[in-house]
A and B are shown apart, each in its own frame.
Chain A
């Protein structure tokens, strides 16, 4: 599984990165703009990401906008349905409005901070980014 993480807070970024280290290569960036660029580049060289983890409140470009831009890019590259990457929002915003907005913009999963490694892995199994066998007991 090839993963892209966009998170401006250093500690949170390291946390997601270390939690996913065992599952394949991880690219970590610090804002939405960089995430969209990295995603585009990966599509261009035909080594797309399988999973994108997006924080919502980030400088330059926030996670909601990055989410929409990534889905637009996929459409431009004619990637549809299950071929699309899985997108997981990881954020301190737990209000219903943000959650609904994110799902309207076609994310697959939503995780509210603070979270533990087991919570993240369980969510990834739920959205089929990781196989069922990885479900933490």
Chain B
């Protein structure tokens, strides 16, 4: 009996022991799982915190940068007042130095603001049709004087298969090329800078990729520096910053913009062959065809400016007038795009190189006067702020004419406008602005052919 009780007690104890062991191990397992969960939560929290920190930091930078402009305005402005007064040569030298330093600081502030916007994904990319060859031609015109002054060649290599129109953000594409070209000219002492553009092989999702290449015959970039060159505030050599100016943010901005657009920016360079920056961007071919494409072949005449077909923007809200004037201009030999209000016109001007604008004065949303003023500021987008503008108005009042001229338009025509009148004014303005004779190429050919005929 006693033995039986002892056996029972032993069994019970053993059972208890087993239960205890099981419980302990279960608790240990729980503990591990719990700790693992904790770690996972912690990691998620850390990541969330990090991205929140990054957002906060970038917002902070953006605010600070903006706030920096106010005192900077005081320094630059007051220095200019000081310089306009009577100063002895030494004081003038001091004032000049303050002015130069403040201007450098202003460039740095602008770059920082841009960088902060990109980092915090605060930039909205445009998606509008634009012409890559147009942008490259514009930049060529812009940089050629600087290159020539240094004795450098600035060569263009535009693949004929480059689509005439692609969809994307022309402003940002221009910013990237602008920065790369600026660097190339800055660091190259002899030889040539080459701008090449053309289609690359399609991407994995069969999206067409455009290749933009800027190569130079400069000193090149050492292999160990090539990875770091796209980091913010990295220049090959600290003394370069002092010698050449710049903020050390340019390439960082370019790389980030390229990536933001779904593309890439890479460098290949060796110490003795110079540097080649290759930017690959997925830019789909624009399907919008110009309404005049179909008629292009049977047109009799073509107006040319510096070897390129003269391209005009017609801004007019009334559809009947718009079509009438468009046909008139096309008949005169111009390539014409249309916008039905001022805001739309400003968007188109940024995406495409136009040689001139023909603008109705009274329009809804944004009228012709306001649009002309905006164009003239140079802040309304990426285009020549001085391009010729012809006002079209239904009013014959002198006051209206004065208003148009005062808004910065170059000429004033009243509706209904005559083709001959339009042609005369356009020819005069375009020839003066582009310092060229308006060559009616086909008429000239006709004339040449006719001269061959026996009389």
Q: Which residues of A line the B interface, CB within 8 A?
A: 9, 11-12, 15, 18-19, 81-82, 92, 94, 96, 99-100, 103-104, 106-110, 112-118, 126-128
Contacts and interface: CB of A to CB of B under 8 A. Distances in A.
Given A9-B70, A100-B343, A117 B408 contact: no
A82 B374 contact: no
Contact of A117 (B70, B75, B84): B84
A18 B373 contact: no
A92 B77 contact: no
B196 interface: no
A117 B80 contact: yes
Given A92-B66, A96-B346, A100-B343, 16 more contacts: A11-B71, A19-B81, A82-B399, A82-B406, A96-B381, A100-B374, A103-B366, A103-B380, A104-B366, A107-B373, A114-B75, A114-B102, A114-B106, A116-B77, A126-B376, A127-B373
B406 A99 contact: no
B371 A103 contact: yes
A93 B79 CA distance: 22
Contacts of A116: 76-77, 79-80
B347 to A, nearest CB: 9
A128 B402 CA distance: 11
23 contacts: A11-B73, A11-B77, A12-B70, A81-B399, A81-B400, A82-B403, A82-B406, A96-B379, A99-B379, A100-B346, A100-B366, A104-B342, A104-B343, A108-B407, A110-B377, A110-B379, A112-B379, A114-B77, A114-B106, A115-B77, A116-B79, A117-B84, A118-B80
Contacts of B374: 99-100, 103, 110
Contacts of A113: 69-70, 72-73
Interface string B392-428: 0000000110110011100000000000000000000
Nearest to B408: A126
Contact of A114 (B76, B376, B380, B408): B76
A18 B70 CA distance: 17
A94 B381 CA distance: 11
Interface residues of B, number: 38
Q: Is the interface of B mostly helix, strand, loop or mixed?
A: helix
A103 B70 contact: no
Contacts of A94: 379
A76 B202 CA distance: 61
B74 A12 contact: yes
B403 A81 contact: yes
A58 to B, nearest CB: 12
A94 B295 CA distance: 41
B439 interface: no
Nearest to B371: A103
Nearest to B69: A92
A113 B73 CA distance: 6
Nearest to B400: A81
B158 interface: no
Nearest to B379: A99
A12 B365 CA distance: 32
A61 B403 CA distance: 29
A11 B146 CA distance: 37
Nearest to A119: B80
B72 A114 contact: yes
Contacts of B84: 117
Contact of B73 (A106, A107, A114): A114
A108 to B, nearest CB: 6
